[in-house]
A and B are shown apart, each in its own frame.
Chain A
Amino acid sequence: MSVRQGLLAVLELGPNYGYQLRAEFESRTGGTWPLNIGQVYTTLDRLERDGLARRGDETPEGQVLYEITNAGRAEADAWLSRPVVRERAGRDELAIKLALAVTLPGVDVPALIQAQRTATLGALQDLTRLKMADERDLAWELVLESMIFQLEAEARWLDHTEARLARIRDGRDPRPAAPPAAASVPAEREATR
């Protein structure tokens, strides 16, 4: 998601000046995505350039109120109704670290997994404490729960990886994967390329 679409969605509620828009955005996302004001004004300039927002009246204090255009409203609605497609899947540092670790000699992969799981669970405990002391702020709780479920998924993936490596170590893997090193590509497959 870009900040642009989020700010546009907030502008649907009515005209806002920059600081007001930032405050609305942050309160509606549980304060988990702090924006700097320069970023907000740069985004508003671009929305104006693209015909999605325009400058309206000024407040008595001289702050320019930005309002959404019909095109902007259409773009915001389209964004809200469109599923999020996660691009660049797999660029996860942990996944890449483990993928490399299993190919490198001398790396204690079980210890690496255990250390990561301890860290992941520590982070889960921290977030769960925040949830226990919740202030019944729905936006905040939703973002918090999203983080909690992502960490849970990471912990489950670590469990799965640990179990899979143990099966391979013990010769119990029902579907052994080919060794990852390039030198292990079978000769006949290499010949067909």
Chain B
Amino acid sequence: MSDAPLLKLDGVSVQYGSGPTAVTALSGVDLEVRRGELVAVMGSSGSGKSTLLTVAGGLVRPTSGEVVVDGQWLSTLRPGQLATLRRRHLGFVFQDYNLVPALTAIENVALPLELDGWKASRARRAARDALSTVELAEQAHRFPDDLSGGQQQRVAIARAVVGGRSLILADEPTGALDSTTGEVVLRMLRGRVDHGAAGILVTHDARHAAWADRIVFLRDGRIVDESAYRGVETMAGSRA
């Protein structure tokens, strides 16, 4: 794990609207995520979980505070630069996969690279490598509709890390999957992080959050607590 955080939120607040009807979605949030680290974000509906993810991904600008991705201060970037940074550094994984139905798995994964100007052949090679990391190389030429939900989500994870992209922002990635399939997806996500990516996993499910190194709790837009993996003896007894 390197020392410099890949993502840093420094005193981030987000307010929607103004005046008496203003809604504070995030309030003074500090968070750092390093390579090799998966951070789960939990909280009840409306606690600010999804807003945190959209701010971290540069989709929403904070009302105050600063977001830094791989050393770049997002507030200093023009919209075009911000879009480039998103394409090169960030990968989103959503509950409903968000794959392009008219493109095959490998085309979906190669898409962000091609949008970034990569030659098609090089983008395809990188996409194939990314699909291999989620054990889907053999399904590379299938369309999303021909893949199971779990496979589609693994394609989405491959797309999130393709071409050296290293910050995975996952919003309830197992929400539409059954328990066993969800676990396969989490294992893949964990594997990518263990191989040098960094991730934020927004979830309401404690069992899924437990795959993270740290779990932060949001309430009313504030981080109210944090639980870290302790690596100590467990209630499972002497087997550990």
A binds B: yes
Residues of A within 8 A of B (CB): 30-32, 34, 114, 117-118, 120-130, 132, 140, 143-144, 147-149, 151-152, 155-156, 159, 162-163
CB distance from A118 to the nearest CB of B (A): 5
In the complex, are the beta carbons of A32 and B231 less than 8 A apart? no
Judged by DSSP, the binding face of A is helix
Residues of A within 8 A of B207 (CB): 124, 128, 148-149, 151-152, 155
Residues of B within 8 A of A31 (CB): 237-239
Assuming the contacts A117-B217, A123-B234, asked whether A152 and B240 have C-beta atoms less than 8 A apart, the reply is no
Residues of B within 8 A of A144 (CB): 236
Of A30, A120, A125, A155, chain B has the most CB atoms within 10 Å of the CB of: A125
CB distance from A142 to the nearest CB of B (A): 12
CB distance from A33 to the nearest CB of B (A): 8
Residues of A within 8 A of B209 (CB): 121, 124
In the complex, are the beta carbons of A121 and B239 less than 8 A apart? no
Assuming the contacts A121-B209, A124-B210, A125-B230, asked whether A130 and B240 have C-beta atoms less than 8 A apart, the reply is yes
Assuming the contacts A121-B206, A151-B206, A152-B207, asked whether A127 and B229 have C-beta atoms less than 8 A apart, the reply is no
Assuming the contacts A114-B225, A120-B206, A156-B206, asked whether A125 and B239 have C-beta atoms less than 8 A apart, the reply is no
| B: number of interface residues (CB 8 Å) | 29
In the complex, are the beta carbons of B44 and A125 less than 8 A apart? no
In the complex, are the beta carbons of B236 and A124 less than 8 A apart? no
Closest 9 CB pairs of A and B: A155-B206, A124-B210, A126-B234, A128-B210, A152-B207, A125-B229, A121-B227, A31-B239, A118-B227
In the complex, are the beta carbons of A34 and B234 less than 8 A apart? no
Q: Which residue on B lies nearest to A128, using beta carbons?
A: B210
Residue pairs across A and B with Cβ atoms less than 8 A apart, 9 shown, are A32-B237, A118-B225, A121-B206, A121-B210, A125-B215, A130-B234, A152-B207, A155-B207, A159-B44
